[in-house]
Structures are given as C-alpha cells and as structure tokens.
Amino acid sequence: MRQAADPLRPRVVVVGGGIAGLATAYMIRTLAHERNADPVITILESKSTTGGATRTDHADGFTCEWGPNGFLDNEPATLEIVKRLGLESRLVKASSHASKRFIYHHGHMREVPLSPRAFLTSDILPAGAKFRIALELAVPAKRNGEDETVYDFARRRLGDSFAQYMIDPMVSGIFAGNAKELSLRAVFPKMVEMETEHGGLFRAMIAKIREAKRTGKVSGGPGGAAATLTTFVNGMGELTETLTNELAGNIITNADVQSVKLHGEMYEVATNDAVFSADAVVLACPSYVAADIISEISYNAAECLRAIPFAPVDVVAHGHRIEDVGHPLDVFGFLIPRGEDYRALGSLWCDAIFPNQTPDGTHMLRTMIGGAHDPQIVNLSDNEVEQLATSEHRRLFDVRREPVFKKLIRHPKGIAQYTRGHLERVAELDFLERQLPGLIFTGASYRGVSVNGCMKDAIRVANTLLNQWRLN
Ligand SMILES: Cc1cc2nc3c(=O)[nH]c(=O)nc-3n(C[C@H](O)[C@H](O)[C@H](O)COP(=O)(O)OP(=O)(O)OC[C@H]3O[C@@H](n4cnc5c(N)ncnc54)[C@H](O)[C@@H]3O)c2cc1C
C-alpha cells in the first residue's frame, strides 16, 4: 500500500475544477479536518474559470444555465454538501405549477400522463400500444445478466411504441443519448433490480405499494423517493462559485494538465508549465482527457477511458415578451421523439419552472439540440444553430418576434454516454485504483452523469483516500 509521506499532511492534486473536482477537493479537506489531518490540496483547472459545465450567466434579468439547470433533491450526498456549505437557505425548488410535461408526437403536443388512470384516457399512445404495456405483467423476467440496451429492455417489456415514443425521447432528454446504445445496467440500474428481484416493473411497483401499506411509510415513484428539480437563488453556478470561494487558495487556473507519472512512491503531475509532486491524484477531468494524461501509467485503463463516447449538446436560450409567443408556455417542458420533423431534442420553459429566472412579462425557452442521435450538429456554425432554433421555436410555439434575450452555449463533447460495456470499463478503472492507491477517477464520465452522480462520487473518493491514509 502506497503511504502518504506525511499521513496528516498528504499532498493531493485534483485535475479539473468542474463541479466534480471542486466537490471532491472540498470533501477531502472537510473529512480530513474532522480527523485532525490537513491535506495540501491543489486543484489544477485548464480554463481561466472554474465550474466546468456548471455555470450560470445573468444578463438583462435572465438567468441562463450553461449546463445543469438543477438537481433532483433525493440524493443525500448533494444535500450533505449543500448543508456543509451553508447553502440550504439558498435552495429553490421547481414551481409545482410546472409539473406537466409534454411529448410532441405526430404533429401535436401530448401531455405525459402521470398516473395509470390518466395514461388509460390519454391520447399519447394508441390503444394497441396501451394493451401491450398492460401485458408487461406476463413478460417473463430475464435474469441472465446480459448488458441489454435501454431500448431493448423497454421494447421487450413494454412494446415497440413505448420504447420509441416514450423511452427514447426521455433518454435524449436526460442523457442526450440514444436508447439503442445506452446500457440499462449503467444508466437505470433500478430497472434491472425491479426485473431481477420482482419479475417485472409492474410487479415491483405492486410490491412497493404493498410494502408501503404494511409499514405505513409512503415512498415515491418506482425508481426511488419522489424528487423535485432544485436549484439555487442565483442558479446552479452558485454551487460552483461557493465551492470555488471555499477553496480559493487551492485553485490554479490556466493549468492544462498533460500527464501523470509515477516517480518512486509519489505521483508527478505535469501541466503546460509546471510539475507537481503528490501522494494522491484525483482525475476529475472528462475521461477522454484522463486517457491521455494517464497513458504512460496504464495502457489498458487509457483504452477504457477512450472508449467512453460523448454526445454533443447545444443549448439555445431565448427570452421572449409574453405577447410575442402564441403558445402558453406554462409547463415544465417537452421532448420530441426522433422521426418527427424537428431537430431539437426538446425545450424547458424556464420561467414556468423557476419564475425568479426571468424578468416579469417574459418567457424563456431553453432548447437542446444535438445529442447522440445528431452528432453532425457540431458541423453547424453558431449562426446556423441559432437559425435552426429560431425556426423550430416559431413552428412549435407560434413565436412572432425576435427574442429579447439570446444565448447559445455549445458543448461539442457535452455528456458522457454510458454505452454497453460501460460498467466493465469502470471496473477496469477500479482495478487500476486498487493497484495504484492514490490514483482516482471521478466526475460525470463514470458513475453518474448528473450533478447528483458527481456529488455522490465526491464523497466516495474522499472516503477512499482517507481509508488509504488510515484516517478513518
Ligand atoms: C447541456 C447540459 C445540460 C445538463 N443538465 C443537467 C441537469 O439538468 N441536471 C444534472 O444533474 N446534470 C446535468 N448535466 C450534467 C452536468 O453538467 C454534469 O454532471 C457536470 O457538469 C459534470 O461535472 P464534471 O466536473 O464531471 O465535468 P465538467 O463540468 O466537464 O468539468 C471538468 C473540468 O475539467 C477541466 N479540464 C479538462 N481538461 C483538463 C486538463 N487537461 N487539465 C486541467 N483541467 C482540465 C475542464 O475545463 C472542466 O472545468 C448537463 C450537462 C450538459 C452539458
């Protein structure tokens, strides 16, 4: 076991100052202090600012998110970090008026039913498709451990129409992904559990309701506790800004890390213009960057890191005067399945979700374009993406005038895609982490693409290092 030179003052380098790197550094420091240790932490960030994709702009009264516009409030790790940072009073929950969601299907916006009764009476799917869904109860469980795609699982259990018109757009909306490529085990492990433990999705839901009646404890949806989209008064950037202020003395910006090498018992981290010696290195940069950085340490791990694909996502935010939009933008948002006559993946109606994010008398649409279904989006110029969004907004929402506020944010490598084989790739990284204590991978590329995934993993990484330093 590699030991820190001074177990009470281990030297740690964190590569990447996005939300994952910042939260991990903060938790290493916080938990170490609770054990009377004082690690020397350096966060190396290649850009001139920290935060990565978790960043908020404010202009003309509009709050505009670069990446995440919130997190679900059912992850204890996120709530713990928020509490430790003293940010609980700054939390803002999505308006309960914005609970309706729509799917654009065959030329119409159709409301997504939120209860079985609403589903039976809704026009979202034809009667035959609804009947096929009811047959889920009779579909035998598959327990062979095969790494099935999300689409194959949905088609097998719930039928073609459900997979195509409900699941695929949902996967586009959450992961900018293609349901035909993503691994069910990696992105929806709870679904696998529902099938293997209870024999199917409806059976699992019935078991859950029975359990709730027996214990008197009411829990949320089938996948876990009910959750509400939540942000901060000043948007998600408030979280990364607070972490940045907390860690101010530990951050070096414009430090583009090129390599990590072993040097005796220590790691050597080389940037464009300096070398840092460390007992532990946390790689909190995207996996394709980590691949090059560790290529001299492990060829196998570097290949696994390179095999994690990313989907591009463009975010187009348009603020409009209410009178310039014909459609009432008073719901959460909507998704568009592939095969309809639109390139947008869907839009969020920001003023309905978080009313404090737009000036009075305005709407703000936040539309996502690209994703794994449309990687060619990166070939369009900024102007072309703007024009595409403007023309689709016009057709979808009867927008009659130019926006009063515009912002385009492009993420050519936006969201990591946990395709089939993802868990095996992460297992290879776990193997390297065990072989080389002190070297750890974290962030949205591995164990959860969401902010919650990053926060949960930040605590895992901090505890792993503390264990290695025998500080538990
Ligand atoms: C459009 C969009 C919408 C999203 N919406 C949501 C949402 O609503 N809810 C949600 O929970 N999640 C959402 N996500 C996912 C969320 O953004 C991620 O979970 C989170 O931002 C990942 O943080 P990270 O720190 O892992 O990566 P990043 O934010 O990418 O940070 C990585 C950091 O590493 C730095 N870096 C890269 N290379 C180097 C190097 N060589 N040396 C030093 N530093 C380097 C980068 O500059 C960057 O600052 C969304 C993502 C996108 C793109």
Q: Which pLDDT tens digit goes with each residue over 74-95?
A: 999 999 999 999 999 999 999 9
List the end-to-end C-alpha distance of the chain, in Å, as a whole number: 16
Ligand 1: atom nearest CA of 19 is: 25
Architecture of the domain spanning 125-215: Orthogonal Bundle (1.10)
CA of 269 to the centre of ligand 1 (A): 21
Kindly report the CATH number that applies to the domain delimited by 310-416: 3.90.660.20
Q: Name the residue at shortest CA distance from atom 5 of ligand 1.
A: 68
CA of 141 to the centre of ligand 1 (A): 36
Residue 308 backbone zone (phi > 0: left; psi -120 to 50: alpha; other: beta): beta
Measured in degrees and rounded to the nearest 5, phi and psi for residue 398 equal 55, 50
Tokens 């290649």, located at residue: 46
Closest CA to ligand 1's atom 51: 67
Among 451, 460, 461, which is best to mutate for testing ligand 1, by the most ligand atoms less than 8 A from CB? 451
Could you tell me the sign of the dihedral formed by the alpha carbons of 280, 286, 292, 297, in that order? positive
Pocket of ligand 1 (CB under 6 A): 15-21, 44-47, 52-54, 67-71, 256-257, 284-286, 289, 313, 315, 411, 414-415, 443-444, 449-452, 454
pLDDT digits (tens, 9 = 90+) for 160-218: 999 999 999 999 999 999 999 999 999 999 999 999 999 999 999 999 889 888 887 65
Third-level CATH fold of 11-53+233-308+419-468: FAD/NAD(P)-binding domain (3.50.50)
Q: How far does the centroid of ligand 1 lie from the alpha carbon of residue 66, in Å?
A: 10
* Residues constituting the chain: 472
Going by alpha carbons, the residue nearest to atom 15 of ligand 1 is: 450
Q: Say which amino acid occupies 281.
A: V
- Helix, strand, coil share (%) of the chain residues, nearest 5: 40, 25, 35
Closest CA to 154 of 104, 191, 122: 191
b/e map 41-54, b = 16+ CB within 10 Å:
bbbbbbeeebbbbb
Domain positions in the chain are 11-53+233-308+419-468, 125-215, 310-416
Would you call 333 helix, strand, or coil by DSSP?
A: strand
Q: Could you tell me the distance, in angstroms and rounded to a whole number, from the CA of residue 318 to the centre of ligand 1?
A: 22
Ligand 1 centre distance from Cα of residue 445 (Å): 9
pLDDT tens, per residue, the chain with 472 residues: 466 777 789 999 999 999 999 999 999 999 999 999 999 999 999 999 999 999 999 999 999 999 999 999 999 999 999 999 999 999 999 998 888 899 998 888 899 988 878 888 888 888 999 999 999 999 999 988 899 999 999 999 999 999 999 999 999 999 999 999 999 999 999 999 999 999 999 999 999 889 888 887 655 554 445 799 999 999 999 999 999 999 999 999 999 999 999 999 899 999 999 999 999 999 999 999 999 999 999 999 999 999 999 999 999 999 999 999 998 778 899 999 998 999 999 999 999 999 999 999 999 999 999 999 999 999 999 999 999 999 999 999 999 999 999 999 999 999 999 999 999 999 999 999 999 999 999 999 999 999 999 999 999 999 999 999 998 7
Ligand 1: which residue has its CA nearest to atom 7? 68
Smallest CA separation from ligand 1 atom 9, residue = 68
How far does Cα 287 stand from its chain's mean position? 15
Pocket test for ligand 1, best of 13, 54, 75, 446 (most atoms within 8 A of CB): 54
